Structure 1
Amino acid sequence: MTFKGRTVLAFILLAMFASSIMTLTIVNPSMLAAVGKGGGAAPSGGSLTSKDLSKISTTYQLIENKFLNQVDHDKVVNGAINGMLATLDDPFTVYMDQNEAKQFDESITSSFQGIGAEVSSEDGKVTIVAPIKGSPAEKAGLHAKDVIVSVNGEKLDGLTLNQAIMKIRGPKGTQAKLEILRSGTQEPIQMIVVRDDIDVETVYAEMLQGNIGKIEIRQFSTNTAKRFKEELTSLEAKGMKGLIIDVRNDPGGLLQAVVDIVEPFVPKGKPIVKIEDRQGKQEDTPSQGAGKNYPVAVLMNKGSASASEILAGALHDSAGSKLVGETSFGKGTVQVPFEKEMGDGSNIKMTVYKWLTPSGTWIHKKGISPDIAVDQPDYFKVAPLTKKATLKPDTTGDDIKNLQIMLSGLGLNPDRTDGYFSEKTAQAVKAFQRQQNIPVTGEVDTDTANRLEKAILNEIKDPKNDLQLKAAVQYVQSVIK
C-alpha cells in the first residue's frame, strides 16, 4: 500500500502530545496479525512464529500461576508491549493505555489540566522539550532540556514516559513539587508548579510598530492553521508590511497544520517538506501556494521542535525567510498513531518516517541553525533558587550564582556572577529589599527569593528585554520595500 503527497500528510502527526484520533494504516492489519508456521525463525516479513507466541504465552502463564504475588493482567500485558517498544530505543515511540490515550487526545483537541510542558524521554530521563508559553511551567521557570527527576517526592526512574506524564499532570490548583536537573548546576533544583487549565488557544497575533505583524504559534493543534489564517488575514488587512512568526518554545504538533500554515508563503511547486520511509524512499510535498510580497522572519530557540522546525526549514529553504534566535531542538522523525489497530482504546504512537527540509537536510539531534544568532540575556535562563537555606555573605554555590544573575538582570550590580556572596552582592540584595519594602538584611530568605523570582519573571515578559524579537524586527525593517 502506498501513500502519495497529501494523503500521507493528512494523517501524520508529530510531537509527544499528538492526537490519536488520526490514524494512518501503513501495513495491512492481516499482516500485522499473521503468524508464521513451522516454529522456526520468523520469515522475511517479520511475523511472529508459533514458537514466538508460545514463548510469550508460557511466560504469561508462569507469571500468573507461579509468581509469589497476585498479578494484574492488564499491567503485565501493558508491560510486555512497553518492553517490545523499549527495544526500539526511540523516545518518540510509545504505548498508551486507554486512560493515557484519552488524556493525550484531550491535550491537543481541548483544554486539559496540568503544568503545560512538552516532555520526551532521553536516555531514560524525562526531559522537557519546551514549556508551553503562558503555562504554569513557563511561569515557574522550567526550561527546555531540564530533566525532571521526581514529582511530589516520587522518583520517575523506571517509569514509562506516559506513566511519568500521568504523575506530572493533575487537577487545577494542585501542586507539582518537581526536582529538576539543569545543565550548569550541580545540585537538583526544587521547583513548585501549581497546575492549571492549559488553554489550547495556540495562535496570538499583534501589530508591532512600523506595521510589522507578529504571530506567535504555541503548538500545532487541530485548529491552529485556521486560527493562523484568520490572524494573518486581519494583519494584512491592516496594512502589514512584514511578518514575524514566533515558534519559540513551540514543541510541535500536527504535520498537516504546519503544511497548511506554510503553504501560502511558498511559491507553487516548491517543496514544503520531504518525507523518507524505512527503505530510504523520499517524497516531496509540493506547495500549491503563491508566495507573499513581504519579508518574513522566524523566531526560534532550543525549545522549537518538530513541526516548528518544519515551518522554519520550509520558510527558510523555499520562501527565503530569515531564521532568528537559537539553534532549534532537533526532532526529525514523524510518528503515526495506531489506535484503530489496537482496538480497545489504547494506542501505539510509532516513529514511521524521517522528515527532511526542502534542501534535503535531516536535522534530527542537530537542530536548525539561525541565520541571525541571538542569545537572550543570562537572566532569561536563570535557575530558580532552591530556598533550602537563607543565603548569606561569604558563602558560595550555584544558588548564589543564580542570585547574582537575577540581581544583574534587575539593574542591581552585585559586582560578580561567580557564585561568591560578596559584600557588593549583599549591598545589591539590600537595595532590592528596600525597593520591595521588606526588612533590609542583605540576606536572602524565602520571601526575598520569591520576590526576586517574580521580579525577574516580569523582566523576562517585558518585550523591551527580548533581544531576539528586537533582532527580528530590525531585520524585517531593513528589507521592507
Structure 2
Amino acid sequence: MKSLKKYNKLLLMITCMVLGAALFFAVEHLVLKKGEGHQTKEAEVTETLKKLQKAQNLITESYVEKVDSAKLLDGAIQGMVASLGDPYSVYMDEETSRQFEQSLDSSFSGIGAEVTKEGEDFIIVDRFKGSPAEKAGIKPNDKIKTIDGKSIQSLTLYQVTAKIRGPKGSKVQIGVERGDHAKDLVITVTRDDIPIETVHSKRFKKGNGYIGYLEITTFAEGTAKDLKEELTRLEAEGIDGLILDVRGNPGGLLSSVHEVLDEFVTGKKPFMHIEKRNGDREPLKSVLKEKKDYPIATLIDGGSASAAEILAAGMQEVEGYPLIGVTTFGKGTVQQSFDLGDGSQMKLTMSKWLTPNKKWIHKKGIAPTLEVMQPPVFELVPLQSAVVLKKGMNNEKIAVLQNMLNGLGLDVDRTDGYFSASTEKAVQNFQKTVGLTQNGEANTATLNELDKAIQSYKENPKNDHQLQSAIEFITKNE
C-alpha cells in the first residue's frame, strides 16, 4: 500500500510538471506570436485554455486519488519554471517563501551555507565566515547528495535549503560528493543562529604605516552603510592602502554592490552592463568623481559569486585595481522576485550582466590578476570518525588525518590512509603539545584538538598567502 501511494505521488508530481511545462510552452508560443506582430486570434487563446482546463479536469476528476487543487497549481508552476532549465529561477510556495524572506533578516537559524543548482546537482557555493557549515568542514563545490540519509534528487533548490535549515542546536547530516574522495562523505552539522554581519574591518601594520582591510561576506540591505562607516573609521585612523576581501562572498543585492562600488570606482565607464532578452544593454555607472588616493587590491576565490564578481570586475576593469587569489565562481545572471499574491513568489532570471568590458563571465568566472594558491592546510576539513583511528588501520579518514598532521608540521611518512608507525609517532607528538594522553591513537578528544589547531592555523593572517600577497602589493605601490 505504501509503495502504491509513493507511486501515485510520483505520478502526480510528473503530471503536474508536464501540465506546467505545457502551460509554459503554450503561453510562450502565444506571446512570441504576438511579439512578432501577428494578431493573436481569440479562438487560439480559447483553444489553449480549453486544453489546459481539460488536463486539470482529467487529473482532479479521474486521478486514482483525491487531488489537492492548491498542490496541483503549485506543481504546474514548478513545471513551468523547471522547463526553463535555469537553476536560479525558482518557484517558492507560501512556506518556502516565508523561509526565504527570513533568510534576508538580520539573523536566521541554519548552517550558514549558500547552495545553488547546476543541472541536476545541488552545489555548495560557499559558507559564511565562522558558520557551522565552515566549522563542520562543508566546502565550496561540494555536491549535496543526501540530507539526513534521504536523497534530494527530486527536490527544488528551495526545498533543499528548507531541509538544511532548522532550529538552533538541532543536527543535520549532509551527504556530499567531493572530487578528491572516492566515496560520498556524510558530515554532521549542528545548526546555529547565523548573524548577518556583512562587513569586518581591521588594520595591518606594515613598516611605518598601516594597510586597511575590509571583508564583505555578502551584499545585503545594510552592507553599503556598514562599509562606509568602517571605511571612514579606517581612513580617520590612517591607512596607506586598502584590501577588499570578497572571498567566499556568494553575492546578494545588486543595489548593495552598486552602493559599495560608488565608494571605489569612478563613473568614467560603466561598472557593469545589464543585457535584456532582446539584446538591449543598460549600463550602470558609479557616481564617484575621483578615485581614492591610495592603492587598493581585491581578494577573490572560487566562492566569490554574483554580486561579488560584479565588484571584482568593476574594480579591475574600471580602475585597474588588481585581483589576487584564484578564479571566481562564475554567475552572470540577474534575478528578480515576484509576489504571486497568495504568499508564494517566483524568483526569475530577468537578464544577464556583463563586465565593464562587456564580457559574460557565466560559468567561466573572473581570473585573478595575480594567481595565488593557499597552503594545502586550507583545503583540509574537520575530521569526524565514529571509531578510534590507530596503528594498522587503513581508510580514507586516516589519509585526512595524515594530511592534517603534515599541515601542522608533524611529519608523516605517508598520506595513503595506512596508519603507520610514523603516523602514530606524529599523533603522540601532537597529543603532547595539547596536553592529552600520548597513546598515539586518534580518539575523539585528539580529533577535536586537531580541528581546533587547523582552524587556528587558517585564522592566522601570516598563513594566508593571498592576504600576504595583497599586503605586499600595497606596500610596493604606496
In structure 2, what is the equivalent of residue 170 of structure 1?
166
When the two structures are superposed, what TM-score results if normalisation uses the length of structure 2? 0.88
1:262 aligns with 2:258: no
Matches within 5 A, 1:120-131: 120-131=116-127
In structure 2, what is the equivalent of residue 208 of structure 1?
204
Q: For residue 388 of structure 1, report the CA deviation from its aligned partner.
A: 4.7
When the two structures are superposed, what TM-score results if normalisation uses the length of structure 1? 0.87
In structure 1, what is the equivalent of residue 293 of structure 2?
293
Q: For residue 385 of structure 1, report the CA deviation from its aligned partner.
A: 3.0
CA distance in 2, matches of 1:428, 1:452: 12
Question: Identity rate of aligned residues, in percent?
Answer: 45
Distance 1:266 1:440, change over 3 A: same
1:323 aligns with 2:323: yes
Q: Over residues 388-444 of structure 1, what are the superposed CA-to-partner deviations in whole Å (9 max), with x where a residue is unaligned?
A: 543333444432221111111222111233333332122111222233333433332
Q: For residue 42 of structure 1, report the CA deviation from its aligned partner.
A: 7.0
Distance 1:41 1:335, change over 3 A: closer
Q: For residue 133 of structure 1, report the CA deviation from its aligned partner.
A: 1.2
Q: For residue 44 of structure 1, report the CA deviation from its aligned partner.
A: 4.0
Q: Which runs of 4+ in 1 moved over 4 A?
A: 39-42
Unaligned runs of 5+ in 1: 1-31
CA distance in 1, matches of 2:30, 2:195: 53
In structure 2, what is the equivalent of residue 225 of structure 1?
224
CA distance in 1, matches of 2:284, 2:294: 23
In structure 1, what is the equivalent of residue 250 of structure 2?
251
Q: Tell me the amino acid that sits aligned with residue 52 of structure 1.
A: T
CA distance in 2, matches of 1:338, 1:361: 28
CA distance in 2, matches of 1:457, 1:70: 54
Q: Tell me the amino acid that sits aligned with residue 158 of structure 2.
A: N
Q: Tell me the amino acid that sits aligned with residue 259 of structure 2.
A: D
CA distance in 2, matches of 1:241, 1:201: 26
In structure 2, what is the equivalent of residue 19 of structure 1?
none
Distance 1:308 1:65, change over 3 A: same
In structure 1, what is the equivalent of residue 273 of structure 2?
274
Aligned residues: 444
> RMSD of the alignment, in Å?
2.2
1:186 aligns with 2:185: no
Q: Tell me the amino acid that sits aligned with residue 250 of structure 1.
A: N
In structure 1, what is the equivalent of residue 51 of structure 2?
55
Higher RCO, 1 vs 2 (CA within 8 Å, ≥6 residues apart): 1
Query: Contact 1:42 / 1:49 at 8 angstroms: preserved in 2?
Result: no
CA distance in 1, matches of 2:375, 2:417: 18
Query: Contact 1:190 / 1:386 at 8 angstroms: preserved in 2?
Result: no
In structure 2, what is the equivalent of residue 118 of structure 1?
114
Matches within 5 A, 1:19-58: 43-45=33-35, 49-58=45-54
Query: Contact 1:113 / 1:169 at 8 angstroms: preserved in 2?
Result: yes
Q: Tell me the amino acid that sits aligned with residue 48 of structure 2.
A: D
1:336 aligns with 2:336: yes
In structure 2, what is the equivalent of residue 309 of structure 1?
309
Task: Find the residue that maps to 1:349 and give its secondary structure.
Answer: strand
Query: Contact 1:189 / 1:384 at 8 angstroms: preserved in 2?
Result: no
| Aligned pair partner of 2:404 in 399, 403, 406 | 406
CA distance in 2, matches of 1:41, 1:141: 48
CA distance in 2, matches of 1:217, 1:322: 17
Query: Contact 1:109 / 1:221 at 8 angstroms: preserved in 2?
Result: no
Task: Find the residue that maps to 2:183 and give its secondary structure.
Answer: coil
Q: Over residues 336-379 of structure 1, what are the superposed CA-to-partner deviations in whole Å (9 max), with x where a residue is unaligned?
A: 1111xx12221111111111110111111111111111111112
Query: Contact 2:135 / 2:382 at 8 angstroms: preserved in 1?
Result: no
Q: Tell me the amino acid that sits aligned with residue 308 of structure 1.
A: A
Q: For residue 152 of structure 1, report the CA deviation from its aligned partner.
A: 1.9
CA distance in 1, matches of 2:190, 2:300: 27
Name which of structure 1's ranges 416-425 and 246-255 shifts more when overlaid on structure 2.
Answer: 416-425
CA distance in 1, matches of 2:94, 2:88: 18
CA distance in 2, matches of 1:271, 1:60: 49
CA distance in 2, matches of 1:479, 1:156: 50
Q: For residue 45 of structure 1, report the CA deviation from its aligned partner.
A: 3.8
Query: Contact 1:263 / 1:272 at 8 angstroms: preserved in 2?
Result: no
Distance 1:388 1:122, change over 3 A: farther
CA distance in 2, matches of 1:132, 1:424: 36
CA distance in 2, matches of 1:437, 1:40: 74
CA distance in 2, matches of 1:265, 1:291: 6
Q: Over residues 266-292 of structure 1, what are the superposed CA-to-partner deviations in whole Å (9 max), with x where a residue is unaligned?
A: 223321111111122222112220211
Q: For residue 386 of structure 1, report the CA deviation from its aligned partner.
A: 4.5
